[in-house]
Amino acid sequence: MSKLLPIKNYKSLLDLKQTEQAIKLVKDTFQENLSSELRLRRVTAPLFVLKGTGINDDLNGTERKVTFPIKDLADRDAEVVNSLAKWKRMALADYGINQGYGIYTDMNAVRPDEELDNLHSLYVDQWDWERVLSSRERNVDYLKFIVRKIYEVLKRTEFVVFQNYPQIKPLLPDDITFIHAEELRKLYPGKSAKERETEFTKKHGAVFVIGIGGKLGDGEPHDGRAPDYDDWSTENSDGYKGLNGDILLWNPILENAFEISSMGIRVDKEALLRQLEITNMQERQELYFHKRLLNDELPLSVGGGIGQSRLCMYFLHKAHIGEIQSSIWPENMISECKKLGIVLI
Whole-angstrom Cα distance, residue 26 to residue 40?
A: 18
Over residues 162-184, the pLDDT tens digits come to: 999 999 999 999 999 999 999 99
Over residues 284-312, the pLDDT tens digits come to: 999 999 999 999 999 999 999 999 999 99
Q: For residue 57, is pLDDT > 90?
A: no
CB 305 within 8 A of CB 128: yes
Domains of the chain are 16-48+84-339 (3.30.930.10)
Q: For residue 60, is pLDDT > 90?
A: no
- The active-site residue, picked from 31, 126, 275, 327, is 126
Residue 116 φ then ψ, to 5°: -75, 130
Has this prediction a pTM greater than 0.75? yes
Q: What is the pLDDT of residue 206?
A: 98
| % of the chain surpassing 90 pLDDT | 85
* Mean pLDDT value across the chain: 94
Beta-carbon contacts of 19 under 8 Å, excluding residues fewer than 6 positions away, are 12, 316, 318, 323, 324
Q: For residue 1, is pLDDT > 60?
A: no
**Residues comprising the chain, all counted:** 345
- The active-site residue, picked from 111, 138, 185, 284, is 111
For the question of residue 259 being annotated catalytic, the response is yes
For the question of residue 115 being annotated catalytic, the response is no
- The active-site residue, picked from 233, 261, 262, 327, is 262
For the question of residue 106 being annotated catalytic, the response is no
DSSP result, 30-49: HHHHHHHHHTEEE----SEE
For the question of residue 195 being annotated catalytic, the response is no
Give the lowest-confidence range in 52-61, 85-94, 248-257: 52-61
Whole-angstrom Cα distance, residue 345 to residue 79?
A: 27
